[in-house]
Structure formats: structure tokens, C-alpha cells
Amino acid sequence: MAKLAINGGAPIKKKPFPKWPVWDHHELNNLKEVIESGKWGSMQGDKVKTFTAKYAEHHQAKHGICVNSGTIALSIALKSSGIGCGEEVIVPGYTFVASATAILDVGAIPVFVDIDPQTYNIDVTKIEAAITKKTTAVMPVHFGGRPVDMDSLLKISKKHNLKIIEDAAQAWGSEWNHKKVGAIGDAGGFSFQSSKNVTSAEGGIILTNDDDIAKFCRSHSNCGRVDGGVWYEHYYLGGNFRMTEFQAAVLLAQFERYPEMKKKREKNAQFLSEHLSQIDGIEVMKNDPRITGNSIHLFIWRYKKEHFNNLPKAKFIEALQKEGIILSAGYSIPLYTQPLFKNLAFGPRGKRADVGVDYNSYFLPETERACYEEALWLPQFVMLGDEDDMKDIVNAVVKVKENINELKS
């Protein structure tokens, strides 16, 4: 009789993983307060201001500027740092599309660099080879919440006079050497979109320690107005990217419970790293003592099919899903192979815009391996489970391995 759930056996998971989003009367009370106050916009109410101050302080940043998405946070951070038309910005090949489209949005050109398979972050040793006369910035992505090696990156940026705009969309409270990411470089952007560890369905924030960058972030996100200026006077190119009081009401409540949740995710990540790494053919990310905090937006692990009878990654994932484990393959293709880049469809309605880079010529082996062969992601809400949930994950992998003969390679 078949043992694996994919073949009709009993699944490992008997009790469901925690649900997401998590909310209670704190979100409800804050929202009620905003509705009843009649002050629904950030120009009238104080929720956005309060959240901005709390978030920036928690992240050891001098300034915070709330906006309505993580994507626009990155574009405005780039623009406000002076990055513009025709300049090249280095970004990893393994990231969400927004890291690269934010660069295109300011008229700059994304140049992709491979990732380090031990971290799934940009391989800092490969950055210098990608620098040209046009390079003006690097966008490190703290992927899944794991901080990039900021020591090395700061050295490179200093040597080549490059700005660092951190994509911290997934890295709320993550720390490199006791320093919160997001404003270690010139500026950084965070996301509060639905799947994120701190969420208001949509939203984002820019952090910076630079007064001038902060001033332009405020202006570019608020129709080009200036601090203390007249409402209908506009000095710079901007738009209405303001966060609402409703979003900040929810974020204030979310943020209160965040530290406890972060601890739980980190504890579970440690458990999984210890136990999964003991299974032949499963590898986990490298431990780096300089990482003193990790949001664990994703728990990322690597699958080596040669230890699983050459079973393709997709089939392995399906077998685990049938056992009741919630996991995904992550990005299915490298970012530079997306139709957007292959066709240089950067103009209006996808019109081709020749930016002087042929994205068809890219081949970043570690990025390709992550997409096609190895990357497995556990989402952040799974990482809020109890120890039994974590054991179920490990036991499901062991079960699939022990019964691998039930699956065709």
C-alpha cells in the first residue's frame, strides 16, 4: 500500500499551519478611531506621522517617509538619491521584479549580478566586475530577510563612489552587526504588502539618515511640494504616493506585535536549519555571525535532486504539499529572462526601448540553479507555527525521502 499522500497515503500534517494576516481588536480600534475622527488623510491625522517616527526609530534611522507601496519606496529612494536617466544600477538576478522596475522607473538601467548560493543574496565578490563608467548605484536586496554583507558592500561603494539603495522590502528589523538594515546605505525601501510580516495590505516606507535625500523623498511622494510650502506650489516632479491614515492605523497595531513574532520565526528557523540540514540532499543557508537579526520573511532551503532519485523539484514540492506542508518553488525563472527584459519592453504599451543592454545574453548560473533546480521557500506565516509544525515539515521531507521509490524520477 502507498505511504506517500501523493499516492493516497495518510498525510503527515493533521493540524493546519497558522493563518495570515494576524489581527485583533487593536487593528479594529485604531481603524474605528480614524473613521470617527474624520481625519482620513495623512495631512490631517497623526497616525502616519506616529507610525513613521516609531518605525524609523526602531530601525535606527533619522528619517522615514511613508508611501503607498514598496515599489514606489524604491523608485523614490533612487530618485531622491540622484539616480536618473541612463545610469546603471547593479541589482541581483534573483529578486522580485520591483527591485529592477524601480530602477527602470527612474530612467536608469538594471545590471544583473549573480547570487551567492549560500545566502541567495547578491554575490558581493561579483559586483566590481559589473561596474562600468555609467554605474552610479547598487541595490542590495536583503532577500527573504537575510542581510546582505554590508561590510563588503560599503567598501565597494566607497571605492567606486556608488550610492547604496537597499531593497529591504522583506527585511523589517533584520540586522547586520547589530545595525538594522534599510538605512545602512544611502536609503532603503520596505514593503507592507499583504504577504509581508508587517502589513496593511499595501504600503511602504523609505528610511534614510541623509537630510537632503529625506527632503526629496517627501517632495517626490507628495506632488513635488516642499516642506512648509504652499499647497498648490510644486517645485519638483512628483506624484501622490501618500499613505492613508487607515494603513497607518493597521500598521501601528501590526508593529506592536512584530518583535515577538520575529523572535518566534527566528527560533523556528534555527530548528529547521538544524534538523533539515541533517537530511542528505537538503541544504540550508550559511550561518553568518554578523547577522544579528533576520525577519525570516522566507525560510529558504535548497534541494539536491541527485539525493532524491533525481526527482524534479516540482514533483518533490508536490509530494510535500500533499503531505500538508505549505511551501513554494519561489521564482520560476530568472528575472532577466522575463518577457519584460528579453523584449526590452520598457516603453509605453511595451514599446521596445533600446537601453544598450541585451538581457538575452545574460546567464547567471546560481540564479538559474535557484530558480530551476534548488530553491524552496517556506512563507513567513508557516514560520509562526509551534514546534510540532516544524517537526511536521522535517518529518514530511524524511517521509518523501524514505519512500522515494514510490515516485518516478
Ligand X SMILES: Cc1ncc(COP(=O)(O)O)c(C=O)c1O
Give residues in contact with ligand X (CB under 6 A). Answer: 69-71, 95-96, 98-99, 141, 167, 169-170, 191, 193, 204
Identify the CA nearest to 64 among candidates 195, 234, 180.
180
Q: How far is the CB of 4 from ligand X (least distance, A)?
A: 33
Q: How far is the CB of 37 from ligand X (least distance, A)?
A: 26
Closer to ligand X by CB, 30 or 170: give it: 170
Closer to ligand X by CB, 146 or 218: give it: 146
In the bound state, the residue with its beta carbon closest to ligand X is: 70
Please give the Cα distance from 79 to 106 (Å, whole number): 6
Q: How far is the CB of 255 from ligand X (least distance, A)?
A: 16
**Cβ-contact 98, 71 below 8 angstroms:** yes
Which residue in the list 47, 163, 180, 196 is annotated as catalytic?
196
Closer to ligand X by CB, 139 or 320: give it: 139
**Nine cell digits for residue 365:** 548560473
Q: How far is the CB of 202 from ligand X (least distance, A)?
A: 6
Angle between helices 387-402 and 245-276 (to 10 degrees): 50
Q: How far is the CB of 105 from ligand X (least distance, A)?
A: 11
Closer to ligand X by CB, 45 or 140: give it: 140
Neighbour count for residue 194 (Cβ, 10 Å): 11
Q: How far is the CB of 258 from ligand X (least distance, A)?
A: 17
The half-sphere exposure of 30 on its side-chain side, counting CA atoms within 13 A, is 24
Please give the Cα distance from 246 to 254 (Å, whole number): 13
Please give the Cα distance from 116 to 99 (Å, whole number): 18
Please give the Cα distance from 91 to 370 (Å, whole number): 16
Closer to ligand X by CB, 64 or 323: give it: 64
Closer to ligand X by CB, 241 or 301: give it: 241
Residues 6+ away with beta carbon under 8 Å from 363: none
The DSSP code sequence of 224-260 is T--TT--TT---S---B-PPBHHHHHHHHHHHHHHHH
Please give the Cα distance from 370 to 115 (Å, whole number): 9
Q: Note if 196 is an active site residue.
A: yes
**Cβ-contact 356, 233 below 8 angstroms:** no
**Cβ-contact 301, 276 below 8 angstroms:** yes
What residues are annotated to the active site?
A: 196
